[in-house]
Chains A and B, each alone.
Chain A
Amino acid sequence: MTPTLTLSRLTKRFGGMEALKAVSLSLEPGKRAALLGHNGAGKSTLMKIVLGLIPFDGGEVSVCGAAPGSPSARAQVAYLPENVAFHPALTGEEQLRHYLALRGESPRQAMELLGRVGLAHAAQRRIGTYSKGMRQRVGLAQTLIGRPRLLVLDEPTSGLDPVSRRDFYDLLDGLAAEGTAILLSSHVLTEVEARTDSILILSGGQLVAEGTLAALRARAALPVAFSVFPAPGHEASLAAAFPEAAADADGHLRLSCTQAEKLPLIARIAALGDHVADLDVVPPSLEDIYSHFSRRDGQ
């Protein structure tokens, strides 16, 4: 399958500062990729280049087989900017009718689109009276116009309440199932974990990790943490059995080991029988994996 989006060795400089350093990636139809990274990592810059809003200094970009920003690319790509804004004097419906006409679609679809993002009740109100999340929904609605082949969404769930976030990802699932490729950025790791196919981590303009969450988890090889709760009266014997463990204020023993050592360690703990009251195994969290890859130089 030919990728919907391909970047190869993309480089972007602002003055002397390299905002993107030889970033290569590709996104196939129907795939949802999440772009993660610290503030200033270059996520928005990368997206603006894909849309042809800003020029780049090196490398190649192909969007639906065309140059970014070309008429053919623009006809097939939909965008939700980081801080989406609309003219406050227009109503939600009028704004969407305008966008529909610009894409050569019938303005009559405006109400249906607003309904899909749960804004039908406010369609006749001016956008100036909308809440932040409502404006964000207008922004989402306009990305649904005319079956785009590529969706570029810059922090699409910012400002959305938890229920709306879930609805939003359901919407994305539907689009992806129809073959739309989706590139979105986010700072909310948990939602990205469950609802996207792959993760891209940018750090200081470099693509430092790419793949499914499981693959990244394996690659990071972060330690697994254990909390062992001694049975009453067995604190001392347990501490003697695990001299490498650190006891915390509650008397729980804290241990950690690599992924490969996990099962043998569990066996060792289980062998102590009723000296152990309980056991918690804490796998590396998404935050741990993320910060492992997105560490900046000198941090």
Chain B
Amino acid sequence: MSRILATAISEFRIAFRNRWVSIATGMMVLFALVLAAAGSAPTGDVGVDRLSVTVASLTSLAVYLVPLLALLMSFDAVAGEVERGTLPLLLTYPVSRLQILLGKLLAHLAILALAVTLGYGAAALVAVWSDPGAVQGLGSLWRLIWTSVLLGATFLGAGYALSALARRPSGAAGLAIALWLVAVVLYDLALLALIVTDGGGAFTTRALPVALLANPADAFRVFNLSAAEAVAAAGGIGGAAGAIPLWQSAASLFLWPLAAIGLAVAAFRKVTL
């Protein structure tokens, strides 16, 4: 445990000096405030507090931004050590590759948690300021924070795996961008196209829920929307979320980080010098 902690402390220092802490936090706060400002126009919605509305739009933002930040922080994790030549010495220390990755994960997760808490918190402040009744929505804000951390953990793990597979930072960066495009953008577009051609048939009722659970970003969106019972309002792919029990999307959210870290450790073990 102390080895994981020591690694985490060094990684946090490095991320801080490379300005990753300020970049991640600044990005989250900026986007969250833009959303909050855009959403502050009076809506016809009655019965829903302003914070819950803000959280719903923050969820759509987080689906894109959290994986992106996680991949940006993680793609260099193994490839960077290989390129700098710091890996051979590190591997002669009595520390396992799992411990090394867990240490990096701990540091990067802490940064991500800080960034989303400050970002969402800023948007929440705006909401509560304009509508004191919005404090009712604090539960959904808390849920958004911890699910964002889990989503981040998945993409951090995936980033480490790509970093170990590529072994060069430039290659790892390319793979990370590709993964982001596929998992977060193209996947949903493809599903949407299938729904349209299917017209409410077998695909929409049977295959779609599985497809949504299989993608951590979609599971994140589905969980937050259905937990907030905002499914009907969300429409589109989110509309299918109603068919998925909450425990299933929660399970997907919790299992994906484990799978991603497992993958990362397996890929890291394959790195020889």
Contact = CB atoms under 8 A, between A and B. Distances in A.
Interface in B50-101: 84-86, 88-89, 91-95
B3 interface: yes
A89 B13 contact: yes
Bin the interface of chain A by size.
20 to 34
A193 interface: no
Contacts of B10: 87, 90, 94-95, 98
Interface residues of B, number: 23
A79 B89 contact: yes
B27 to A, nearest CB: 21
> In the complex, which of the residues A55, A77, A83, A98 has the most CB atoms of chain B within 10 Å of its own CB atom?
A98
A53 B92 contact: yes
Contact of B14 (A77, A87, A103): A87
B22 to A, nearest CB: 14
Given A81-B88, A87-B86, A48 B94 contact: no
A53 B94 contact: no
B6 A98 contact: yes
B89 A90 contact: no
A54 B14 CA distance: 28
A107 B91 CA distance: 19
Contact of B13 (A75, A90, A107): A90
Nearest to B93: A102
Given A90-B14, A94-B10, A53 B273 contact: yes
B92 A98 contact: no
Interface of B is mostly: helix
A263 interface: no
Given A98-B9, A101-B3, A101-B6, A89 B18 contact: yes
A94 B12 CA distance: 12
Contact of B91 (A53, A83, A94): A53
Chain A at the B interface: SS class: mixed
Contacts of A99: 93
A86 interface: yes
A74 interface: yes
A221 B139 CA distance: 87
Nearest to B80: A87
B17 interface: yes
Contact of A77 (B6, B84, B88, B92): B92
B272 interface: yes
B2 A104 contact: yes
Contacts, number: 73
**A78, A89, A97, A126 interface centre (most CB from chain B within 10 Å):** A89
Interface string B12-41: 011001100000000000000000000000
A3 B10 CA distance: 37
A102 B94 contact: yes
A232 interface: no
B94 A71 contact: yes
B7 interface: yes
Contacts of B95: 102
Contacts of B3: 101-102, 104
Contacts of A89: 13-14, 17-18
A80 B92 CA distance: 10
B104 to A, nearest CB: 12
Given A81-B89, A83-B85, A75 B94 contact: yes
B184 to A, nearest CB: 30
Contacts of B272: 53-55
Of B2, B18, B95, the most chain A CB neighbours within 10 A belong to: B95
A257 interface: no
Most buried by A among B85, B86, B92: B92
A94 B13 CA distance: 9
A87 B3 CA distance: 18
Contacts of A98: 6-7, 9-10
Nearest to B3: A102
Nearest to B89: A81
A57 to B, nearest CB: 14
A276 interface: no
Given A94-B13, A99-B93, A102-B93, A54 B273 contact: yes
17 contacts: A48-B273, A53-B273, A83-B85, A87-B86, A89-B13, A89-B14, A90-B10, A90-B13, A90-B14, A94-B13, A98-B7, A98-B9, A99-B93, A101-B6, A103-B93, A104-B2, A142-B89
Given A102-B3, A102-B95, 17 more contacts: A48-B88, A48-B273, A53-B92, A74-B94, A78-B92, A79-B88, A81-B85, A83-B85, A85-B84, A85-B85, A85-B86, A87-B14, A89-B14, A98-B7, A98-B9, A101-B5, A104-B2
* For the complex of A and B, 5 pairs with smallest distance between CB atoms: A101-B6, A85-B85, A89-B17, A79-B92, A74-B94
Interface of A: 48, 51-55, 71, 74-75, 77-81, 83-87, 89-90, 94-95, 97-99, 101-104, 107, 126, 139, 142
Interface of B: 2-3, 5-7, 9-10, 13-14, 17-18, 84-86, 88-89, 91-95, 272-273
